[in-house]
Structure formats: C-alpha cells, structure tokens
Amino acid sequence: MPAMMKAAVFVEPGCIEIDDRPIPDIGPNDALIRVTTTTICGTDVHILKGEYPVEKGLIVGHEPVGVIEKLGANVQGYREGQRVIAGAICPSFTSYACQDGCSSQDGGHHAHGYKPMGGWRFGNTIDGAQAEYLRVPDAQANLSPVPDGLTDDQVLMCPDIMSTGFAGAESANIKIGDSVAVFAQGPIGLCATAGARLRGAGLIIAVDGVDERLEMARKMGADVTLNFRQVDVVDEIRKLTGGRGVDASIEALGLQQTFAQALRVIKPGGTLSSLGVYSENLSIPLDAFCAGLGDHRIVTSLCPGGKERMRRLMQVIDSGRLDLGPMVTHRYPLEKIVDAYDLFSHQRDGVLKIALEVS
C-alpha cells in the first residue's frame, strides 16, 4: 500500500476539501517535492465556484514552496533536501511555442483548437500544490533553488502573482521616466505596481476602490493613488500627466470598465498591458481607440514560468529590492484550507494573500 498524504481536492463545484491521497510516484524527468508552504490564488476560487472547469478529484493549487524529496534519474544538478520553488506555469520548454519565445503557451495547441492557459499544469491538468507532496514534471526545467536566507513567505509570491504582475509591467515596455497607471491593486495589481517601479517608471498611478489596498500600493512603489469611488479616474490621470495621457496602463482586474479606462488614459502610441481574466466579450470604445489610428498596443500576458524566471524573481527579493512580505495577511495550516478558501473568496478582513503552512 502506498504512503499517503493530505491534499486539497476539488470534489465538485462549491466543494474543495482535504482528502487522503497516495504520495505521487515520479518518472525519470520528474521530481517529488515535499511542500512546506503554498497559497490560494484567485483562479483557485474560480475552480471552487465551478467557473473554471477542472476534473473532479484533482488536487488544486499552483504555488509551491518546498523541499526536494526525490529526483528522477534524468534530473541533474539538484540534491534531495534542497529548498526549491517551481512556477505556476510549468512548461516543458521543448515545444514549438516555448522555442518560439512563448513558454507560457506551451502545450496550448490541441486537435480541437487552442486551450487557454496551455502551459498551466499544476492544479489544472495535473495534481497541484495544496498538498503535502507535489510531483513536478520536466523538473530539470522547472526546479529553482531558494537562495539561503530567504523564508518561505518571501518567495511564496514568485510562482504566480509576482511573475504575472511583473509580466504586466514588462509587456508594457516601460522606459525610464514613463508614466504608468495600474488599474486594481489586488495581489497581481500590486505586483504590477512594483514591477513598473522596478522598470524605471517615473510616475506610477495606482487605482482601486479600497483604501487599504491603495496604501499597500504606495508601499509597492505607487507615487499617486486614486480611489475610483472618490474621483473620476480618467480625468484625474489626464490632469496628472498634463493632458498627455500615460505611456502605459496595466489592467489587473478583468472587467470591461477597467479595460476601457485603461485604454482611455494612454497616450497616442501608448500601451495597454492587460493581466485580467475576462468573463465576457470586451468592447473597445471607438474614441478611446482613436478609430484604430492611435498607434496603440493592447498586450496580454500569462504568468511566465521556468527556473530562470524563478531565479530572477528570487534575486530581486534577495537583493532587497522588494519586500512582498506585507502581502501575506493571513496564515492557516493546510488542514484548515476550507476556512482559508472561505476567507479568501469573500475577501474578508483585508485579505491579500494567505500562507498555507503545510509541513
């Protein structure tokens, strides 16, 4: 009989609960990780609610921090007992898409057309990280050692929201001195704000409706914050940029309204970098789009993965450039994950991110 572990399993819409599962076997290109800390993502809440379909019985979660328990025969240069993370998007790096510079979309091509989030495997197409143990496929490409001295909490955002938020800033092609508006200051928007700061933006305007989040945005590097409940955001951004518009805007929510505002505030020649997951057709307002004549760019980014990406993000933390620690607002043991989902999905108590302590 195989050794067993605790894991958070998607039972059916409305129900994720802790169950006993066999500790995974691994193949020659895999690694087995003993998870020490993980967290819950907005996407997991979509899974819980049945809004994003996964198979019943799947272990959910895609943000692992842990220790190498076992290495497949082909995985070189690591040692058991080593602390590692792996990105939420966990590409093979052997596909045409990866070699073409788009590793996030690895495996996205299927006989029946393209599957969104093609490269996303943990807690999507294979068992995930909200468990005591995790099988990491293509481990040679995805295991990234945690630098000495960094805590689990400090690197917990790397696998997903830090990588995603930064990608929003990177795709915006920010230049030194750019003005940037970031719409929504949830975990990803906050990381986008931090990313814009890291890329050299000269004026960062953070937008949200919750004052606590705007306060956190200032900690992450925003120069100005706007509460959309109190001001006309578009007008205000126009004023702050002398009528010029921002060089780039970042949408980090996934709503028509923020998408349209993010387009409306960019200058001719500007970029709208979109991170939101939308749930309906989007409308592009003709005037904001200058009828197609504004030299605009609208760019979307999915979370970059792979060990090099993780290495870079941890380097940023290790050098003290950025402290995402304050974003961990709550802590739960894995066993109490149902409570954690409840708190997180209802956005109670000022929650930003929850550290799930596993072992």
Distance of closest approach, residue 15 Cβ to a second copy, in angstroms: 24
Q: Which amino acid is at 4?
A: M
Distance of closest approach, residue 99 Cβ to a second copy, in angstroms: 4
φ/ψ bin of 22: left (φ > 0), alpha (ψ from -120 to 50), beta (otherwise): beta
Distance of closest approach, residue 270 Cβ to a second copy, in angstroms: 9
Nearest by Cα to 181 from 117, 111, 228: 228
Judged by beta carbon, residue 13 or residue 269, the one nearer a second copy is 269
Q: Cβ distance 294 to 271 under 8 Å?
A: no
Distance of closest approach, residue 16 Cβ to a second copy, in angstroms: 21
What single string gives the DSSP state of each residue in 292-337? Answer: GTS--EEEE-----SHHHHHHHHHHHHTTS---GGGEEEEEEGGGH
Distance of closest approach, residue 29 Cβ to a second copy, in angstroms: 7
How far are the Cα atoms of 12, 213, 271, 322 from residue 350, in angstroms, in the given order? 28, 8, 31, 21
Judged by beta carbon, residue 70 or residue 297, the one nearer a second copy is 297
Distance of closest approach, residue 307 Cβ to a second copy, in angstroms: 7
Beta-carbon contacts of 23 under 8 Å, excluding residues fewer than 6 positions away, are 2, 3, 4, 5, 32, 132, 133
Please give the structure tokens belonging to residue 305.
């993965």
Distance of closest approach, residue 343 Cβ to a second copy, in angstroms: 26
Judged by beta carbon, residue 39 or residue 144, the one nearer a second copy is 144
Judged by beta carbon, residue 198 or residue 338, the one nearer a second copy is 198
Judged by beta carbon, residue 64 or residue 108, the one nearer a second copy is 108
Judged by beta carbon, residue 285 or residue 325, the one nearer a second copy is 285
Judged by beta carbon, residue 4 or residue 290, the one nearer a second copy is 290
Beta-carbon contacts of 150 under 8 Å, excluding residues fewer than 6 positions away, are 314, 317, 318
Whole-number Å distance between alpha carbons of 70 and 30: 9
